[in-house]
Amino acid sequence: MSKPFLPFALPELGDEEIAEVVDTLRSGWVTTGPKAKRFEQAFVEFLGDASLEVIAVNSATAGLHLALEALGIGPGDEVITTTLTFTSTAEVVRYLGADVVLVDVDQATLQIDPRAIEAAVTPRTKAIVPVHYAGLAADMGAILAIARRHGLKVVEDAAHALPATCGGALVGTLASDACVFSFYANKTMTTGEGGMLVTRDAALARRAKVMRLHGMSRDAFDRYSAKVPSWAYEIVAPGFKYNLTDIAAAIGLHQLKRLEGFARRRAVIAARYDEAFADLPLVAPPPPAPGERHAWHLYVVRLMDAAPLARDRFIERLFDEGIGCSVHFIPLHLHPYWRDRYALRPEQFPHAQHAYERMLTLPLYTRMSDADVERVIETVRRLLLAPA
């Protein structure tokens, strides 16, 4: 009698992606090659700005690491980011031996708070890593102004933000030093695992391309496709293994073509949720400013104290009803590593802590049918209006 379980997230992969992967497998070239190049070109076209350099990588985590490495972040340096993020955003700073300075979010938007950034700047600060949380752009005007004032670099964690806008411009085309997208399985488009580093800084791009593949002066496809004998290469640095395979790029080529449709469907579901939950004791996600675009990666609600159920119980009841949901995120300051490394206390992050205790993320993805959406709505309304 019980309905099938509605997962929290599912990728939408169709016949085109499958055929392109099969074509890649049959081609004999399965690692980084012609399709990764085509995917990079298509990504620049999508962003609509030919002055951008894009570097396909095997995760957003890799892209963030490469960007900060290329900017010269290292021991003794501090990088400021939000506590309300996934650990990737911060761990890459530790890979480089630099220190993470976590700051609180704005209470209304849950985006990194520019005032908290300003207050956290020290003589050691080298960079800011804003996260476009949930797919809504962070306050980049204020963040870039702080960066200019203090001579700091800005690397955007845009894992949630394809396609979002800020000041009418697509995230990825803003005046930061670098911007990194994720194509992880549950993001707004996927390559299974993958990411894209975007930059206007030619030196950053050069360094990141070399470090993406072992610190090699020429990649394997360049050598393979050359018309003259070309076995030679030089190792110029101890690089990483962060290249995106052609198998993954094959998926990405078609996901990118479908992205506009995906984004529209996500916005329709978000609008339907907004409308259906307006009278419930919950705080709906902050809408984008007029004229701006929200990528709607996550639909995060916060239960009001007047709600008849606390957050944990509400999630349990939704699971009992066959509806998957999640929490984005357990703030970094609560995780043992970050808490203990920097002696962090919840009182230092009152807004993120308050939001975390009340938040959950409802299912929102393109494979949800209208009936799935209505089922989530009916269940949420029943639990919050007439708890058992």
Ligand X SMILES: *Cc1c(COP(=O)(O)O)cnc(C)c1O
Catalogue the active-site residues: 187
Cα-atom radius of gyration of the chain, to the nearest Å?
A: 21
89 binds ligand X (CB under 6 A): yes
Residue 56 binding ligand X, by CB under 6 A = no
Decide: 34 and 221 in contact? Cβ < 8 Å. Answer: yes
Q: Which two tokens stand for residue 95?
A: 């890979």
Rank residues 86 and 221 by Cβ distance to ligand X and give the closer one.
Answer: 86
CB of 298 to ligand X, least distance (A): 9
Does the protein bind ligand X through residue 85 (CB under 6 A)? yes
Considering only the stretches 34-42, 72-80, 81-89, 333-341, report the one whose residues sit in contact with ligand X under the rule CB under 6 A: 81-89
Count residues near ligand X (CB under 6 A): 14
Contact between 315 and ligand X by CB under 6 A: the answer reads no
Judged by CB under 6 A, the residue of 102, 131, 263, 307 near ligand X is 131
* d(C-alpha 24, C-alpha 37), whole Å: 13
179 strand-pairing partners:
156, 198
Longest dimension (CA), the chain: 75
Burial 233-248 (b: 16+ CB within 10 A, else e): eeeeeebbebbbbbbb
Using the structure block, give the residue that is written with the tokens 């050598």: 223
C-beta of 8 vs 184, nearer to ligand X: 184
Q: Which is nearer to ligand X, 186 or 348 (CB)?
A: 186
Write the CB contacts of 42 (distance below 8 Å, at least 6 apart in sequence). 253, 256, 257
Q: Which of 11, 130, 172, 195 binds ligand X (CB under 6 A)?
A: 195
Q: Which of 256, 298, 269 is nearest to 47 (CA)?
A: 256
295 lies in the binding site for ligand X (CB under 6 A): no
From residue 257, alpha-carbon distances to 16, 45, 192 in Å are 10, 11, 16
89 vs 35: CA distance, rounded Å: 28
Strands annotated E in the chain? 53-57, 78-82, 99-103, 125-129, 153-157, 165-166, 169-170, 178-182, 195-199, 282-283, 299-303, 359-362
The burial of 369, by beta-carbon neighbours within 10 Å (0-12 exposed, 13-18 middle, 19 or more buried), is given as exposed
Nearer to ligand X, 102 or 131 (CB): 131
> Which residue of 128, 159, 162, 380 would you call a contact of ligand X, by CB under 6 A?
159
The answer to whether 111 contacts ligand X (rule: CB under 6 A) is: no
Residue 86 interacts with ligand X (CB under 6 A): yes or no:
yes
Binding mask 169-188 for ligand X (x = CB under 6 A): -------------x-x----
Of 173, 204, 196, 295, nearest to 248 (Cα)? 196
Shortest separation between residue 109's beta carbon and ligand X, angstroms: 15
Q: How far apart are CA 155 and CA 112, in angstroms?
A: 13
Identify which of residues 88 and 176 has a Cβ nearer to ligand X in the complex: 88
For the bound state, the minimum distance from the C-beta of residue 106 to ligand X, rounded and expressed in Å, comes to 16
The residues near 341 (Cβ < 8 Å, ≥ 6 apart) are none
Determine the interface stretch with ligand X among 22-30, 83-91, 231-239, 245-253 (rule: CB under 6 A): 83-91
Q: Choose between 83 and 366: whose C-beta lies nearer to ligand X.
A: 83
88 vs 361, which CB is nearer to ligand X? 88
Select from 24, 61, 83, 361 the one that contacts ligand X (CB under 6 A).
61
**243 lines the binding site for ligand X (CB under 6 A):** no
Query: Considering the rule CB under 6 A, would residue 93 count as an interface residue with ligand X?
Result: no
SS3 166: strand
- Point out which span in 33-41, 98-106, 155-163, 209-217 binds ligand X (CB under 6 A): 155-163
Site for ligand X contains 60 (CB under 6 A)? yes
Closest distance of CB 329 from ligand X, Å: 8
Nearer to ligand X, 154 or 159 (CB): 159
Angle, helices 370-385 vs 311-320, to 10°: value is 130
Chain residues that interact with ligand X, rule: CB under 6 A: 59-61, 85-86, 88-89, 131, 157, 159-160, 182, 184, 195
